Amino acid sequence: MATLTAVNVGMPKDVPWHGRTVYTGVYKQTVTGPRMVRRLNIDGDGQGDLGGHGGEQRAVLVYQLDSYRHWAKELGRDDLEPGNFGENFTVDGLPDDEVCIGDRYRIGGALFEVTQPRVTCYRVGLRMGEPQMAALLVAHHRPGFYLRVIEEGEVEAGQEIVKAASGPEAMTVEEIDRVLYLPGHTREQVERALRIPALSPGWQASMRTLLDQGDGEAAGASGSAGLNPAATAPPPGWPGFRPLAVTGIRAESRSVFSLNLAADDGADLPPALPGQFLTVKVQPAGDAPPLIRSYSLSGEPGAATYRISVKVEPHGAASNELHAHIRVGDRLQAAAPRGTFCLAEGDNPVVLLSAGIGVTPVLAMLHALTRDRSTRQVWWLHGARNSAEHPFARESRELVAALPHGRATVFYSSPAPTDRLGVDYEQASRLSADRIPALGLPTDADAYLCGPTGFMDSVTAALVDSGLDAARVHTEMFGAGASLTPGIKGDKAAPAPHQPTGPAGTGPTVSFARSGLTVPWNDAQDSLLELAEACDVPVQWSCRTGVCHTCELALMSGSVEYSPDPVEPPADGNILICCSKPADGIVLDL
Ligand SMILES: Cc1cc2nc3c(=O)[nH]c(=O)nc-3n(C[C@H](O)[C@H](O)[C@H](O)COP(=O)(O)OP(=O)(O)OC[C@H]3O[C@@H](n4cnc5c(N)ncnc54)[C@H](O)[C@@H]3O)c2cc1C
Ligand code: FES
């Protein structure tokens, strides 16, 4: 018979951590007497970061006494008390390898349903004083699990836990945790998980991605797509940087020019996916270190050569250097194409939406659709200032015209007197969010957006308001991505990326390609993630100990050493920055 041993609650509070403040509800105190359990919380309980914890699907966290005994022995701790793992219910019985997703349990006056394993997050490590706890919980197959409250009611320590129903598919908490976080799951396991209606929507989405990746694996993808979409791309076409010969230079508009790049030996270059980008080293005159910049491939994917198209930015170091000095016959050091902003296969409509130089990755997608004689509905929507600032005007019109179901709407915000309405452009306005509803876009479309951040944010919201599925709106940022720092209080806006303060490191160089920053490694940092944070380079993380893959990203060149080793290795060509240090000079897609 299983028993509720302790009921633990706590409201979120500010906790100092690594010089920052974390707002967290992981600190729980055991309470006596009856407690009301409601749909979202036990009375007196709360979560600090509702993005990762809490809500209807994760209302009550459960952990077992047997696991307490395991960790006391494993960690040599005699100070562990109920609530230390951030759980609401400490229970005797209900082990993770017996409790199944969808099982229902009655405790006191309330009825519960098991929805998912615990989320892997650094805060349990913070609470326990064991930074690697999130990874250990997965590696030792003892995550604990969340309950949804089906019937609200009072509960009290000492009450019996009565099983009211068994979940379909008999998939235990331990098994599904292993499917997502550890190597070696089968398609059958993922399909079983997806047949459990009680599985939380978040985990269902991860399982669906794993299923899709099954097909991707056939195309060479590696790593766990259920944890990070960065794992969905096939491995890079070559390691590190290699020289590519400039075989052509062409002006595309007043401020944009294209470079054609070919293999030094004249062989075909490895095919890139439509939407991927190339990272190049631009060598300024003198002894200055190379500038590392990324450029989306704008030509036909699968062609023997690559084309990149560069906008000359006022005061932009690399774009002006290239514009002023690059010549046919020169060599440019380039890392293999990478990126997950790629045209997905399907027969539903495609909306390709861009502003300014954001045209490049979606132009490659348009090329791919035309090359494949796609019968999909294709909407080409592009915003430019006027014809002088409209690269690929003719090329894109011809590509759209070659599609049986293609249509183009070009927006000029400031048409020149000679620009022809209906020929050069369709609408004399910006391509902004308020234009979207009138376009009548098909709601079952996949949309691909590239342009300035504000444009993408507002247009994404408008597309979703118009009925498109948010999961089908894909965006590409031409710069550092958004950060994801769960629970960290952001009192002030982060400064632009900079050299770390304090004495300079003496280790190998670490280049953050998207941030345009190169710094020497400093052994004062425990990981590349910590170095990035010291430089205010935007980063994404959750567990900080190699299990959740939130920090997974592409390593363009060089190699790293891990400590601790990731629970599941990242995809080929990617690394986890939270548990790695550079082994030699490296370039990161960060
Ligand atoms: C995945 C990805 C794909 C990309 N694809 C493309 C692409 O297809 N085409 C493309 O053109 N770019 C693309 N970019 C952007 C590209 O990598 C560079 O960031 C861009 O070319 C600017 O680099 P830069 O060295 O010229 O400018 P930087 O010197 O890095 O300057 C960055 C910005 O700061 C401004 N700035 C710099 N110094 C000053 C100053 N003193 N005063 C005022 N302003 C200043 C510049 O105008 C510029 O806008 C992409 C980026 C990513 C991450
Ligand atoms: S933050 Fe979880 S693996 Fe790096």
Query: Which ligand is closest in space to the CA of residue 315?
Result: 1
| pLDDT tens string 470-519 | 989 999 999 887 888 888 877 567 788 999 998 888 999 999 999 999 99
DSSP letters for 303-347: -SSEEEEEE--TT-HHHHHHHHH--TT-EEEEEEEE-S--PPP-S
201: left (phi over 0), alpha (psi -120 to 50) or beta: alpha
Does residue 546 have its Cβ closer than 6 Å to ligand 2?
Answer: yes
The atom of ligand 2 lying closest to the CA of 577 is 4
> Cis omega (within 30 of 0) on the bond before 564?
yes
445, 350 contact by CB (below 8 A): yes
Q: Note the helical H segments in 271-401.
A: 317-325, 359-371, 393-401
Q: Evaluate if residue 326 carries a pLDDT over 90.
A: yes
Better pLDDT: 216 or 573: 573
What's the pLDDT at 218? 45
| pLDDT tens string 19-62 | 889 999 999 999 999 999 999 999 999 999 888 889 999 999 99
What's the pLDDT at 220? 53
Query: Which ligand is closest in space to the CA of residue 548?
Result: 2
Better pLDDT: 564 or 241: 241
Residue 491 CA, chain-centre distance (Å), reads: 24
Q: Evaluate if residue 360 carries a pLDDT over 80.
A: yes
Q: In a mutational test of the pocket of ligand 1, which residue from 259, 295, 307, 332 has the highest number of ligand atoms less than 8 Å from its CB?
A: 295
What's the pLDDT at 232? 67
Q: In a mutational test of the pocket of ligand 1, which residue from 256, 259, 313 has the highest number of ligand atoms less than 8 Å from its CB?
A: 313
pLDDT band of residue 369 (cuts 50, 70, 90) is very high
The atom of ligand 1 lying closest to the CA of 361 is 8
pLDDT band of residue 213 (cuts 50, 70, 90) is confident
Q: Evaluate if residue 558 carries a pLDDT over 50.
A: yes
The answer to which of 133-142, 197-206, 221-230, 240-249 has the lowest mean pLDDT is: 221-230
Q: From ligand 1's centre to the CA of 313, what distance in Å?
A: 6
Average pLDDT of the chain to the nearest whole number: 94
Length of the chain: 590
What's the pLDDT at 490? 73
What's the pLDDT at 224? 66
What's the pLDDT at 487? 82
Which pTM was predicted?
A: 0.88
| pLDDT tens string 156-196 | 999 999 999 999 999 999 999 999 988 888 999 999 999 99
Q: Evaluate if residue 109 carries a pLDDT over 70.
A: yes
Mean pLDDT of 255-270: 96
Q: Evaluate if residue 137 carries a pLDDT over 90.
A: yes
Q: Measuring from each residue's beta carbon to the nearest atom of ligand 1, which residues come in under 6 Å?
A: 277, 291, 293-296, 309-311, 313-319, 357, 360, 478-479, 514, 516
234, 221 contact by CB (below 8 A): yes
Those residues with Cβ within 8 angstroms of residue 254's Cβ, 6 or more apart along the chain or in another chain: 388, 389
Mean pLDDT of 294-303: 96
Q: From ligand 1's centre to the CA of 316, what distance in Å?
A: 6
> Cis omega (within 30 of 0) on the bond before 34?
no
| pLDDT tens string 413-458 | 999 999 999 999 999 999 999 999 999 999 999 999 999 999 999 9
What's the pLDDT at 400? 98
pLDDT band of residue 222 (cuts 50, 70, 90) is low
| pLDDT tens string 58-93 | 999 999 999 999 999 999 999 999 999 999 999 999
| pLDDT tens string 559-570 | 999 988 898 889
